[in-house]
Amino acid sequence: MNIVVGITGGIAAYKAVNVIRGLVLAGHDVHVVATEAALRFVGRPTLEAISRNTVNTDLYEAVAEVRHVAIGQAADLIVIAPATANTIAKLATGLADDLLGNTVLASRAPLVIAPAMHTEMWQNPATVANIALLRSRGVHLVGPVSGQLTGTDSGVGRMAEPDDIVAHALAVASGASTRIRDLEGRRVLVTAGGTREPLDPVRFIGNRSSGRQGVALAEAARDRGAAVTLIAAHVEVPLPTEIDVIRVETTEQLLQATSAEAARSDLTIMAAAVADYRPVEVAEGKIKKIHAGERLTLELVQNPDILATISALPRDGRLIVGFAAETASDREALLELGRAKVARKGCDYLVVNEVGWTTGFATEGNAVTVLDASGAIVFEASGSKTSVADDILGVFAAALSGAQ
């Protein structure tokens, strides 16, 4: 394959050398397009020696060969690692003020980017919006991950490891971004949808959950090679194929099914929207309206907390993940709610759903932050529910294999 590796001006540029090396060793013809800024971080001779090809930087070199479009046209795959916030902004706008911008615009090849920047820049609404836009156009992201950044700080924004970038890029090029089989041999349990608590034979207390995110998680886990069981409460989307499905109605039924299945699952993801209360009594017959204008009082009793229940059991390397859709006045308040919840539930990870933030892009797709048991941010993802599901499964697959 003819692969273009774009390198932009961030300190992680030195790690791009290992990305190039991985692709060359996998038998590919690698052409480096580096920005001027990238060459301040890593030397041209290094890049030429490792890629075994001339490094291209200048828009006005080899003009007779129409190089500004030729490199992009010939590429089967473009990988930009690291992709700085500035480059991401340029890609989102379609700017072509350097050779890399021209190469990307002139290419129909899949584009994989590995963002690398400080946490504040990654979380800036401008970057968040640019990333959402790039995703909606089919650009593939690998990382960023959480970890040590340049200097003494750490957080989300660190470039994904070169081996992961190579694996992801090659999977994308083979038309199989979701065919990364990192859950092969694992059992994954996903709960989805909203539970319903009957009041009488014809009525129930329920919630608005569609089950879409849970179903997307089950499908993504299946595509990553896992044996998947989906416990579906009320779900408004078609149920996936090649997945064992257990249907439940009430929280009590969900508790029974989940307790049994979680004990034999490597990864349990509680994406179900669980009714916190149920009526003290369920009427045998339909509750009748007797007098005009009368009031009806329902007495409710709290349901068991399934996530807390299964998290309290010994789990021997198995992972348990909760979901929390919260509304809060700002991001910090939302994360505080998430941190309190992960501590209360005792699960390994909590996926905090950012829907409801006042960021403009929130309406374009789903955005989540993954907290670990200590409340630290380990991952952030945004985009369609399918891409978010796939991205966060990558985190849990890595955690299961002890890589994180």
324 binds ligand CTP (CB under 6 A): yes
Nearest approach, Cβ of residue 323 and ligand CTP (Å):
4
Binds ligand CTP (CB under 6 A): choice among 76, 249, 252, 276: 276
Nearest approach, Cβ of residue 202 and ligand CTP (Å):
24
Closest CA to 143 of 156, 153, 132, 126: 156
Nearest to ligand CTP of 249, 364 (CB atom): 249
Nearest approach, Cβ of residue 255 and ligand CTP (Å):
8
In the shown chain, the binding pattern of residues 235 to 274 toward ligand CTP, with x for contact by CB under 6 A and - for none, equals: ----------------x------------------x-x-x
Residues 292-311 that bind ligand CTP (CB under 6 A): 303, 305-307
180 binds ligand CTP (CB under 6 A): no
Nearest approach, Cβ of residue 209 and ligand CTP (Å):
10
Binds ligand CTP (CB under 6 A): choice among 155, 322, 338, 365: 322
Which residues are known catalytic residues?
207
Nearest approach, Cβ of residue 398 and ligand CTP (Å):
21
Nearest to ligand CTP of 144, 322 (CB atom): 322
Nearest to ligand CTP of 194, 365 (CB atom): 194
Binds ligand CTP (CB under 6 A): choice among 41, 122, 204, 323: 323
Residues 16-35 that bind ligand CTP (CB under 6 A): none
Nearest to ligand CTP of 34, 307 (CB atom): 307
Nearest to ligand CTP of 221, 272 (CB atom): 272
**Total residues binding ligand CTP (CB under 6 A):** 13
Nearest to ligand CTP of 28, 318 (CB atom): 318
Question: Which residues contribute to the site for ligand CTP (CB under 6 A)?
Answer: 251, 270, 272, 274, 276, 303, 305-307, 322-324, 345
